[in-house]
Chains A and B, each alone.
Chain A
């Protein structure tokens, strides 16, 4: 059974700082890995999707990496802004099912 862990559970940083969120998983047999953003009381919005054969994906200030051999993915956020405050979840696609991490709650302080 796939186990997905996200560290840290919560993070508070001053505006402008670069930061890294971590996601680790136990089974490398995946189709892809996604990073989602969840705002309080809202659904999930997809940020980045990394295919199993890829090493990283970039979108604006966001960069996600994938290392299947070590069971790790990172989400790098450059020059953080207060609007980045949200919970970030990673999810692994193993075929018919998706396994989610518990999330990292990010607060960017103005």
Chain B
């Protein structure tokens, strides 16, 4: 299993540009998450999905959009990039979050800089 993969690893955007961060998992997990991590801070939840076709907002959803057309893929879309979106973005998945022994599996992250 490759686990959770993310592309690209690094990206520099200009203000106002748009891009899609890709996330794929091959563990057949229902739940997928997008987090951002700012320097010296913990992870903040952007969006999550409980299964194909179902998404919901997390703590910091403004400026982002997601879709979940398949179990494997959960792309994150930035429509009008702003400097405040400079961060490291992590995708994660888990079989079932309320399962008491289920951990989250994380991708390696995408480092995004908006200039």
Contact = CB atoms under 8 A, between A and B. Distances in A.
| A and B assemble together | yes
Interface stretch (B64-72, B74-82, B96-104): B96-104
B109 A96 contact: no
Contacts of A102: 40-42
A98 B42 contact: no
Contacts, number: 69
B33 A98 contact: yes
Nearest to B33: A98
B107 A43 contact: yes
B25 to A, nearest CB: 12
Given A44-B106, A96-B50, A97-B58, A4 B97 contact: no
B97 A93 contact: yes
A43 B97 contact: no
Interface size of A as a range: 20 to 34
Nearest to A96: B97
A32 B50 CA distance: 18
A49 B33 contact: no
B27 interface: no
B103 A31 contact: no
A14 B105 CA distance: 31
B43 A51 contact: no
Contacts of A45: 106
Given A31-B97, A100-B43, 12 more contacts: A9-B40, A31-B98, A44-B43, A44-B92, A44-B104, A51-B100, A95-B97, A96-B97, A97-B48, A97-B59, A99-B45, A102-B42
